[in-house]
């Protein structure tokens, strides 16, 4: 059984099984549409009685092989690939929260997600209350309303790098009868297993470690298949859908109800579809994800330890350091390593930070993380610049914070580049 394979094997061999003479790896099926012999076959597709591909906005064999592999690696029942991580987060929420409803989210989020929640979802009538993930269970409970429909948080906050207390958040979600949606982009299916810690839905920016080579923007939603949508709060999943001849998702699709609804309603109507070339690259990226993550984690820990001892560095934030406030949570939820991103402050503040970023040679100044190549960024002046200073602080960004995404190059070369860039800041 493939589902009992170790994740390293699933990453390499999962979800695609070629027959004799078929291509060894999933082919790039660069086609908008597919041919049929009978009108009845096409009608069955439109009635969702068959799952064959019929139009690439709704499904494509290459995309299928990516979705199957990532679902298997996360331990879910199904997945939906999207054209970006942003689309994955937006669809994951809109699939269950409509105008007049409400979401509770950890405040420690990627800047784009924060902006989606603070500005765009409210324009669509979905309000979001941000909570401090370190708050107590009792404090967190105060954020909930009768119309709340889900809880959202990142495994490792970007760029605050706080590790989520899954036990606290999943207990809260259970108590409220709501799904817990986790952005596992920094966690990756290899380092963190949100479904084993009570999450119901996982989203990823596949752009990051899943791709791993900075080739493509994309996202994915994975469904654990475990949430009980018939608890009375989610009539859109249990009552007839007029846009599908009165189809009831839970009745027809059981544990796949949520992920099929996201595909046939939201992907059909809003169309944030990834191209087959990109999903080919994502499934290709997954093949080496476990190996790459091991090296990312080893290198990031070595860089964090090096910076911690450096006289020009005022602080280092990496959950793999035993001095980190999230260290115990990282040991529990990220036992294989605390991923490849760390942040630090240089003595000399924002000005020294700017000099540092302009002085690295191997480490490139790019708006990205999760690439095999090391990269550096100053979030306050870039990814989080649209947020107010107050919002920046709430999402974990201080003015002097420098974010390093440590790549998989040889550690000696990474450390030498950091040292020469720090020397330039003196
Ligand atoms: N979630 C996290 C944690 C991210 O870091 C990002 C992007 O940096 C996103 C979501 C959004 O993903 P994308 O850029 O693929 O839309």
**Does some domain include residue 285?**
no
Given the CA of residue 370, which atom of ligand 1 is nearest to it? 5
**Does some domain include residue 254?**
yes
HSE toward the beta carbon, residue 339, CA cutoff 13 A: 36
Given the CA of residue 206, which atom of ligand 1 is nearest to it? 15
**Predicted TM-score (pTM) of this structure:** 0.97
Binding-site residues, ligand 1, Cβ < 6 A: 84-86, 110, 112-113, 154, 158, 183, 185-186, 205, 207, 217, 219
Given the CA of residue 154, which atom of ligand 1 is nearest to it? 3
Structure confidence at residue 379 (pLDDT)? 78
Tokens for 4, please give them: 């009992």
Structure confidence at residue 387 (pLDDT)? 77
Instruction: Please tell me whether residues 379 and 235 are part of one structural domain.
Output: no
Burial group, residue 47, by CB count within 10 angstroms (0-12, 13-18, 19+): exposed
Instruction: Please tell me whether residues 138 and 273 are part of one structural domain.
Output: yes
Instruction: Please tell me whether residues 179 and 297 are part of one structural domain.
Output: no
Tokens for 308, please give them: 């911690």
**Does some domain include residue 65?**
yes
Nearest protein Cα to ligand 1, atom 15 = 85
Can you count the helices (H) and strands (E) in the chain?
Answer: 18, 12
Among 247, 277, 307, the domain boundary falls at 277
Please tell me the total count of domains within the chain.
Answer: 2
**Does some domain include residue 355?**
yes
Q: 96: domain range?
A: 2-277
Tokens for 116, please give them: 């989606």
Pocket test for ligand 1, best of 87, 113, 191, 194 (most atoms within 8 A of CB): 113
Structure confidence at residue 286 (pLDDT)? 98
> What H or E segment, with its residue span, contains residue 391?
helix 389-394
Instruction: Please tell me whether residues 232 and 124 are part of one structural domain.
Output: yes
For ligand 1, the distance from its centroid to the CA atom of residue 85, given in whole angstroms, is 5
CATH number of the domain that 416 lies in?
3.90.1150.10
Among 277, 300, 316, the domain boundary falls at 277
Instruction: Please tell me whether residues 131 and 212 are part of one structural domain.
Output: yes
What does the alpha-carbon distance between residue 145 and residue 251 come to, in Å, rounded to a whole number?
Answer: 28
Q: In which residue are the tokens 């810690």 written?
A: 197
Structure confidence at residue 1 (pLDDT)? 58
For ligand 1, the distance from its centroid to the CA atom of residue 10, given in whole angstroms, is 24
Phi-psi region of 293 (alpha: psi -120 to 50; beta: other; left: phi over 0): alpha
For ligand 1, the distance from its centroid to the CA atom of residue 110, given in whole angstroms, is 7
Nearest alpha-carbon partner for 102 in 87, 124, 82? 124
**Does some domain include residue 282?**
no
> What H or E segment, with its residue span, contains residue 209?
none
Instruction: Please tell me whether residues 68 and 213 are part of one structural domain.
Output: yes
Contacts 24+ apart (CB under 8 A), 320-325: 324/161, 325/162
Pocket test for ligand 1, best of 162, 184, 187, 205 (most atoms within 8 A of CB): 205
Q: In which residue are the tokens 């929640």 written?
A: 117
Instruction: Please tell me whether residues 342 and 310 are part of one structural domain.
Output: yes
For ligand 1, the distance from its centroid to the CA atom of residue 368, given in whole angstroms, is 9
Provide the residue-wise pLDDT of the chain in tens; the chain has 426 residues: 577 899 999 999 998 999 999 999 999 999 999 999 999 998 998 888 988 998 999 999 999 999 999 999 999 999 999 999 999 999 999 999 999 999 999 999 998 999 999 999 999 999 999 999 999 999 999 999 999 999 999 999 988 899 999 999 999 999 999 999 999 999 999 999 999 999 999 999 999 999 999 999 999 999 999 999 999 999 999 999 998 889 999 999 999 999 999 999 999 999 999 999 999 999 999 999 999 999 999 999 999 999 999 999 999 999 999 999 999 999 999 999 999 999 999 898 778 888 999 999 999 999 999 999 999 998 777 777 787 878 887 767 777 889 999 999 999 999 999 999 999 998
Instruction: Please tell me whether residues 313 and 367 are part of one structural domain.
Output: yes
For ligand 1, the distance from its centroid to the CA atom of residue 26, given in whole angstroms, is 26
Query: What's the order of all strands across the beta sheet hosting 127-131?
Result: 78-82, 219-223, 201-205, 180-183, 148-154, 102-106, 127-131
HSE toward the beta carbon, residue 119, CA cutoff 13 A: 10
Pocket test for ligand 1, best of 153, 208, 215 (most atoms within 8 A of CB): 208
Structure confidence at residue 244 (pLDDT)? 87
Among 252, 277, 302, the domain boundary falls at 277
Contact predicate 56/31, CB 8 Å: yes
């Amino acid at each position: 059984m493939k589902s009992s394979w170790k994740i390293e094997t699933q990453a390499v061999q999962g979800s695609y099984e070629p027959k004799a003479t078929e291509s060894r790896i999933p082919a790039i099926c660069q086609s908008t549409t597919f041919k049929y012999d009978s009108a009845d076959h096409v009608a069955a597709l439109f009635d969702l009685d068959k799952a064959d591909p019929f139009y690439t906005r709704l499904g494509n064999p290459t995309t299928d092989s990516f979705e199957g592999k990532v679902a298997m690696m996360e331990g879910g029942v199904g997945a939906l690939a999207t054209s970006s991580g942003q689309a994955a987060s937006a669809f994951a929420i809109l699939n269950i929260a409509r105008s007049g409803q409400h979401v509770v989210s950890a405040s420690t989020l990627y800047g784009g997600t924060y902006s989606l929640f603070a500005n765009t979802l409210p324009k669509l009538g979905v309000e979001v209350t941000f909570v401090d993930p370190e708050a107590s269970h009792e404090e967190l409970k105060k954020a909930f309303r009768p119309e709340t429909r889900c809880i959202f948080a990142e495994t490792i906050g970007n760029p605050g790098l706080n590790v989520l207390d899954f036990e606290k958040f999943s207990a809260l979600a259970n108590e409220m009868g709501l799904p817990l949606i986790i952005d596992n982009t920094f966690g990756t299916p290899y380092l963190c297993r949100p479904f084993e810690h009570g999450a119901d839905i996982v989203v990823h920016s596949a752009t990051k470690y899943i791709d791993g080579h900075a080739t493509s923007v994309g996202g994915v939603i994975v469904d654990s298949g475990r949430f009980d949508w018939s608890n009375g709060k989610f009539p859109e999943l249990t009552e007839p859908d007029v846009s599908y001849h009165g189809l009831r998702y839970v009745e027809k699709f059981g544990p796949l109800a949520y992920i099929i609804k996201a595909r046939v309603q939201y992907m059909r109507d809003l169309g944030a579809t990834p191209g087959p070339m990109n999903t080919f690259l994502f499934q290709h990226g997954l093949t080496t994800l476990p190996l790459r993550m091991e090296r990312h984690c080893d290198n990031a820990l070595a860089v964090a330890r090096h910076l911690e001892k450096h006289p020009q560095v005022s602080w280092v934030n990496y959950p793999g350091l035993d001095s980190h406030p999230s260290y115990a949570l990282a040991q529990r939820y990220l036992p294989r390593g605390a991923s490849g991103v760390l942040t630090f402050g240089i003595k000399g503040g924002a000005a020294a930070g700017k000099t540092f970023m302009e002085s690295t040679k191997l480490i490139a100044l790019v708006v990205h993380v999760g690439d095999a190549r090391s990269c550096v960024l100053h979030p306050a002046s870039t990814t989080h610049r649209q947020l107010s200073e107050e919002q920046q602080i709430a999402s974990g960004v201080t003015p002097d914070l420098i974010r390093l995404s440590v790549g998989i190059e040889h550690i000696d070369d990474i450390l030498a580049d950091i040292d020469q860039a720090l020397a330039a800041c003196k």
